[in-house]
Amino acid sequence: MCGIFACYNYQGDVDTFRQRALYLSKKIRHRGPDWSGCVIANKTILCHERLAIVGIDTGAQPLVSDDENLVLCVNGEIYNHKALRANLKEKYEFKTHSDCEVIIPMYSELDTGLANKLDGMFSFVLYDKKRNRVIAARDPIGITTLYYGWDSKMPGTVYFSSELKSLNEECDKILAFPPGHVYDSETGETVRYFNPSWWDEERVPTNPADLKLLRESLETAVRKRLMAEVPYGVLLSGGLDSSLIAAIAARETEKIAQTGVPEDGFDERGPTLWPRLHSFSIGLPGAPDLIAAREVAKHLKTIHHEYTFTVQEALDAVSDVIYHLETYDVTTIRASTPMYLLSRKIKATGVKMVLSGEGADEVFGGYLYFHYAPDNTSFHHETVTRVKNLHTSDCLRANKSTMAWGLEARVPFLDKQFLEVAMNIDPQFKRPNKKEGRMEKYIVRKAFDTSDDPSAKPYLPDSVLWRQKEQFSDGVGYNWIDSLKQVAETKVTDEEFATAASRWTKDVPTTKEAFMYRVMFEDWYPQEACTASVVRWIPKAEWGCPEDPSGRAQGVHEAALSD
Residue 180 in marked binding region: no
What are the DSSP E strand ranges found in 309-404? 353-355
Do the Cβ atoms of 101 and 88 come closer than 8 Å?
A: no
Question: Amino acid identity of 184?
Answer: D
- Which regions of the chain are under pLDDT 70? 257-275, 469-475, 549-563
Instruction: Quote the DSSP letter at residue 251.
Output: H
Cα–Cα distance, 50 to 32 (Å, whole number)? 4
Q: Where in the chain is the domain with CATH 3.40.50.620?
A: 215-259+267-553
pLDDT for 39 equals: 97
Looking at domain 215-259+267-553, what is its CATH homologous superfamily?
A: HUPs (3.40.50.620)
483 is in an annotated binding site: no
pLDDT in tens, 66-123: 999 999 999 999 999 999 999 999 999 999 888 999 999 999 999 999 999 999 999 9
Tell whether residue 563 is among the known ligand binding residues. no
| Catalytic option among 2, 7, 47, 530 | 2
Short-list 164, 173, 132, 127, CA closest to 146: 164
| Intervals of CATH 3.60.20.10 along the chain | 3-192
pLDDT at 486: 96
Q: Report pLDDT for 562.
A: 41
Contact between residue 121 and residue 77 where contact means Cβ atoms under 8 Å apart: yes
pLDDT of residue 539: 77
From the list 53, 46, 34, the residue with the least C-alpha distance to 124 is: 46
Taking the C-alpha atoms of residue 472 and residue 476, their distance in angstroms, rounded to an integer, is: 6
For the domain made up of 3-192, give the CATH fold.
Answer: Glutamine Phosphoribosylpyrophosphate, subunit 1, domain 1 (3.60.20)
Contact 481, 287 (CB under 8 A): no
Q: What is the pLDDT of residue 267?
A: 46
235 is in an annotated binding site: yes
Cα distances (angstroms) measured from residue 563 to each of 521, 547, 551? 28, 12, 13
Q: pLDDT digit string (tens) for 206-263?
A: 999 999 999 999 999 999 999 888 889 999 999 999 999 999 999 998 887 666 554 4
Q: Is 45 annotated as a binding residue?
A: no
Residue 2 is a catalytic residue: yes
pLDDT, position 254: 85
